[in-house]
Amino acid sequence: MSEQNHEFLDLSGIRPPQEQMELLNKKDFPILEGMSAINLRILNSASRIMHVSKGVEMLHEGDTPHDLYFVGKGKLSIARQIGGQLRILAYLHPGDVYGEFGALRRKSRYASVFTAEPSRIIRVDLTAVQQVLEADCNFRKHLSRLLSHRMLDSFFFSHPVFEKLPDDVRAALAKELPTRFAKRGDRIFSQGETPKGIYIILSGEVEIRYLNRAKAEVLLEMRRDADMLGELAQNHGKSLAYSAVAASDVDMLKLDKDAMRILESRHPATFKTIGAFIDKRAEYTIQRLKENPL
């Protein structure tokens, strides 16, 4: 390559492939651990550095997903509008990642992200991220685990049943309690099945259906964020009273026997409150079924 061409590349901000700096690496970002060289190269090829001043709202609650972000330097806060006030859920530090909700669910973001101090952020094009997610099951698993923790933490922070949890208990439960994901059209459970626990909707919509005497499934309700599934059984609690089908991609908190034991041991007061919450939801469902007899 001629000296003139080198000068042109320098002025354009373009570098030959062998000179391209890798912005993302496994040492600085643990979530990339185990990723193949080729997939890491795909992410790096779609990355760019952003130097961001303090107080910038990088992502807004409800934004359409665009990219995945890696924190190289600085500090950011995750916040939600709760009761008319912006409340901080958690902080992000070097080595952390955000934008996982859009990358995995391709839906509007559930919280906002602000720079708490001047920060250096590596922004990766969402198309490249999704390409790697398709090829690398470990990366998808790591990112999904992160998504689950953050969704639960945010849910506990804002839901009236869980809002009195101390910060340390909330953070621990967000890591310990199980979540379940259902794709649109998936049958979460069917009427007549043996109950295996309660589900609380974290994100998405669910159709509540029941089978009438003519053996036709009737849509009884649409349930959305923070509502409950599986709260009502019949035949002395041996069979579920209705079916639940995902009307969109759905994330749920699963409260089975093991999860309830964890909750009871961690925070007995919240455990008791959940019981009352379940009973109240069951009473409403009974009323709906009476209005629409089988």
Residues 206-257 pLDDT 10s: 999 998 877 888 999 999 989 999 999 988 889 999 999 999 999 999 999 9
Q: Does 8 have pLDDT greater than 80?
A: no
- Residue at token pair 């953050």: 150
Give the E-state strand segments of 179-262 in sequence order: 179-182, 187-189, 198-203, 206-211, 217-223, 228-229, 233-234, 239-240, 243-246, 250-255
The alpha carbon of 50 is separated from its chain's Cα centroid by a whole number of angstroms, namely 25
Nearest-angstrom CA–CA distance, 278 and 232? 9
Kindly state the average pLDDT of the residues 93-111.
90
> How many other C-beta atoms lie within 10 A of the C-beta of residue 117?
13
Residues 124-178 pLDDT 10s: 999 999 999 999 999 999 999 999 999 998 899 888 899 889 988 998 999 899 9
CATH 2.60.120.10 domain locations along the chain: 16-136, 175-291
Indicate the CATH number for domain 175-291. 2.60.120.10
Q: Does 9 have pLDDT greater than 80?
A: no
| Single pTM value for the model | 0.82
What is the identity of the amino acid at 189?
F
243 forms beta bridges with 209
Tell me the CA distances in angstroms from 77 to 16, 54, 60, 96, one per residue in order: 37, 11, 12, 11
Residue 15 banded pLDDT, cuts 50, 70, 90 = very low
Residues 198-220 pLDDT 10s: 999 999 999 999 988 778 889 99
Q: Does 13 have pLDDT greater than 60?
A: no
CATH topology for the 16-136 domain: Jelly Rolls (2.60.120)
Nearest-angstrom CA–CA distance, 277 and 280? 5
